Amino acid sequence: MSTNIVKVAGVEVSTDHWIGGKRVASKEKFANFSPIDGSHLADISAGGKSEADAAVAAARKAFPAWAALGPKGRLPYLKKFAEGIRARANELAAVETMDNGSLLMGNIHRVVPRAAQNIEFFADWALTLDGHVIDSPEVVNHVKYDPAGVAVLITPWNAPLMLTTWKVGPALAAGNTVVVKPPEWAPLTCSLMADIAHEAGIPAGVLNVVQGIGEVAGDALVNHPDIDRISFTGSTDTAKIIGRAAASSITPLSAELGGKSPFIVCADADLEAAAQTVAGQYMNAGQVCLAGTRIMVEKKIEEEFLEKVRTAASHMVLGDPRDKNTRVGPLIHKEHFARVVGFVERAKADGAVPLWGGSQANIGELYFEPTLFAQVSPGLEISQKEVFGPVLTWQSFTSDDEVVALANNTRYGLAGTLFSQNEKRAMDIASRVTAGTFWVNCFFIRDLAAPFGGAKDSGLGREGGNWSFDFYSDIKNIAVRKDSFAG
Ligand code: NAD
């Protein structure tokens, strides 16, 4: 067994793959840096076809026994797994912060507890799946949720632990075995997750981790002939590539993708609450898929509301994400930083005007000032494309029809937010905006039982509650002729 270990934030992390219950090293490595200060954290084993083959074979071998346990038999393992995540909460949070620059306090209080809940919630939910019966005149239809087989799970760097467990939880609870491909810019907490699963007694091969570059390791996994599901979270462009692989083997694909979500503020809103929530869109430097980045304000309160947002945004302290007062940390990587700068410079060239921000902050290489662009016509790139940085746009509207049209005027449809104290108006606008999730007078609240996903270019399919099991299971109907077993 290989023992390539680094210490990050005082925590020992293996830099190798986890395949068939063993640490496996690759000769080839990729370097991993902290966005906080650019420090070199680790050289990580870079997998390719042979590691993908080994991991899928290990998952295939482990599948029959894991599937045969049934939801009740799997429950104790998954509960222990969740407990293990909770027991190492501070370590996971500290490593995630070093690795992707997300806020330490958010990781401790929100992300890691949620990661544990992702495992536990779906393990409990799986107990409720079978036993569903549909009575018809000649037969009784018994609906069964059979495990699908081997699931490949691919996640992005902005919330690796949260998003990986959101897939691992239901996939394992449904009786599948999994191969996880962590993001190359932030792979470390997925490695710790494998240790925790092992300590919880999850059998060898049930959970495997193949690290590596997306176009190499990810590509080998999604094109593997012996897989049964692909669950992907990441960019729309990558989803199109993975979609072609899935189509060629007719492998069901779930895709949770980017967004350019509207944030609508009506004149009748609680403006203080709305302004605080707008400023909150800068959290984690705006590297949040669900962020409401297109602010749309009813014309008659525009000036008053802008001043409230200005005040709220001035409290969004930019700095080291380990500091408890920080609200806006660094961007993940210099490539991503250059991408964000590119969007900002092109927006300025297109005639958009920064009301604040618009430049690199002078506190480190990857820190960018919270930015708000006005004078953005709907056709501009900055109104249409996902920046994935601390960059918002500001538009005004005079009628509900106008704001609905503005909100729907992108290729995306991930989320939306609206503040209004008029219930009828709020529900009318909410129902007319195309989005997987739409928040009214709140933001970012996601119940694991609720459907989650994106419309249009923001995704394919829904997960959460039963929707996760619809995806991770082969649903079967056993239709039994009535009275055929009578006597
Ligand atoms: P990305 O698409 O570049 O990468 C995501 C993952 O896909 C990584 O693990 C990467 O290695 C892998 N990958 C890349 N090319 C691949 C290929 N050819 N085959 C297989 N795998 C491949 O995305 P990113 O930059 O890591 O993440 C940011 C994007 O993710 C944003 O668009 C953001 O909105 C989106 N996102 C969406 C959600 C959601 O729930 N809808 C959540 C978080 C992030």
Does residue 483 belong to any structural domain of this protein?
no
Residue nearest atom 10 in ligand 1 by C-alpha distance: 214
Does residue 102 belong to any structural domain of this protein?
yes
Residue 89 DSSP SS3: helix
* pLDDT at residue 116 is higher than 70: yes
Going by pLDDT thresholds of 50, 70 and 90, the confidence category of residue 457 is very high
- Shared domain for 223 and 132, answered yes or no, is yes
- Shared domain for 252 and 338, answered yes or no, is no
List, for residues 223-242, the tens digit of each pLDDT value.
999 999 999 999 999 999 99
Atom of ligand 1 minimally distant from the CA of 238: 2
Take residue 119 and report the two structure tokens written for it.
């495992």
Atom of ligand 1 minimally distant from the CA of 221: 20
91 phi and psi angles, rounded to 5 deg: -70, -45
- Shared domain for 267 and 207, answered yes or no, is no
264 close to 277: Cβ distance less than 8 angstroms = no
**Rounded Cα–Cα distance for residues 327 and 106 (Å):** 9
Taken in order 114, 115, 116, 122, the sign of the CA dihedral is positive
Residue 166 DSSP SS3: helix
Q: So what's the pLDDT on residue 130?
A: 82
- Shared domain for 110 and 16, answered yes or no, is yes
For 176, 293, 294, 391, the CA distances from 418, given in Å and listed in that order, are 38, 12, 11, 19
- Shared domain for 302 and 228, answered yes or no, is no
176 close to 205: Cβ distance less than 8 angstroms = no
- Shared domain for 274 and 409, answered yes or no, is yes
Does residue 112 belong to any structural domain of this protein?
yes
Residue nearest atom 37 in ligand 1 by C-alpha distance: 257
Q: So what's the pLDDT on residue 483?
A: 87
Q: So what's the pLDDT on residue 2?
A: 52
Going by pLDDT thresholds of 50, 70 and 90, the confidence category of residue 202 is very high
CA of 237 to the centre of ligand 1 (A): 9
Does residue 389 belong to any structural domain of this protein?
yes
Residue nearest atom 12 in ligand 1 by C-alpha distance: 214
**Rounded Cα–Cα distance for residues 481 and 138 (Å):** 6
User: For residue 463, which of 444, 445, 449, 443 has the smallest C-alpha distance?
Assistant: 449
List, for residues 385-426, the tens digit of each pLDDT value.
999 999 999 999 999 999 999 999 999 999 999 999 999 999
List, for residues 8-60, the tens digit of each pLDDT value.
999 999 999 999 999 999 999 999 999 999 999 999 999 999 999 999 999 99
Instruction: Return the CA Rg of the chain.
Output: 23
Q: Is the CB of 127 under 6 A from ligand 1?
A: no
- Predicted TM-score (pTM) above 0.95: yes
- Shared domain for 252 and 352, answered yes or no, is no
191 phi and psi angles, rounded to 5 deg: -65, -45
Q: So what's the pLDDT on residue 131?
A: 83
Atom of ligand 1 minimally distant from the CA of 237: 2
Tokens 């993708």 belong to residue: 257
Q: What percent of the chain has pLDDT over 90?
A: 98
Q: Strands, DSSP E only, in 367-436?
A: 371-374, 391-397, 412-413, 415-419
Q: Is the CB of 190 under 6 A from ligand 1?
A: no
Q: Is the CB of 192 under 6 A from ligand 1?
A: no
CA atoms within a 13 Å half-sphere pointing along the CA-CB vector of 401: 0
Does residue 485 belong to any structural domain of this protein?
no
Active site residues: 256, 289
CA of 233 to the centre of ligand 1 (A): 5
Q: Is the CB of 414 under 6 A from ligand 1?
A: yes
**Rounded Cα–Cα distance for residues 309 and 363 (Å):** 23
- Shared domain for 267 and 253, answered yes or no, is no
> Within a 10 A sphere around the Cβ of 39, how many other Cβ atoms?
10
86 close to 113: Cβ distance less than 8 angstroms = yes
225 close to 251: Cβ distance less than 8 angstroms = no
Does residue 450 belong to any structural domain of this protein?
no
Q: Is the CB of 289 under 6 A from ligand 1?
A: yes
- Shared domain for 160 and 198, answered yes or no, is yes
Does residue 484 belong to any structural domain of this protein?
no
CA 169 to chain centre: 14
With the most atoms of ligand 1 within 8 angstroms of its CB, the residue from 44, 153, 154 to mutate is 154
Q: Hey, what amino acid is at 415?
A: A
List, for residues 315-343, the tens digit of each pLDDT value.
999 999 999 999 999 999 999 999 999 99
Take residue 332 and report the two structure tokens written for it.
């993940």
List beta partners, residue 44: 30
Q: Hey, what amino acid is at 122?
A: F
The whole-chain average pLDDT of the chain stands at 97
CATH number at residue 339: 3.40.309.10
Stretch 265-277: mean pLDDT, rounded? 98
Stretch 75-89: mean pLDDT, rounded? 98
- Shared domain for 376 and 396, answered yes or no, is yes
> Within a 10 A sphere around the Cβ of 248, how many other Cβ atoms?
11
- In the chain, how many domains are there? 2
Q: Is the CB of 238 under 6 A from ligand 1?
A: yes
Domain interval for residue 17: 5-257+458-477
- Shared domain for 214 and 330, answered yes or no, is no
Q: Is the CB of 453 under 6 A from ligand 1?
A: no
Stretch 288-299: mean pLDDT, rounded? 98
329 close to 284: Cβ distance less than 8 angstroms = yes
Q: Which residues contact 482 (CB under 8 A, 6 or more apart)?
A: 138, 139, 140
CATH number at residue 39: 3.40.605.10
Does residue 482 belong to any structural domain of this protein?
no
- Shared domain for 217 and 320, answered yes or no, is no
**Rounded Cα–Cα distance for residues 168 and 162 (Å):** 10
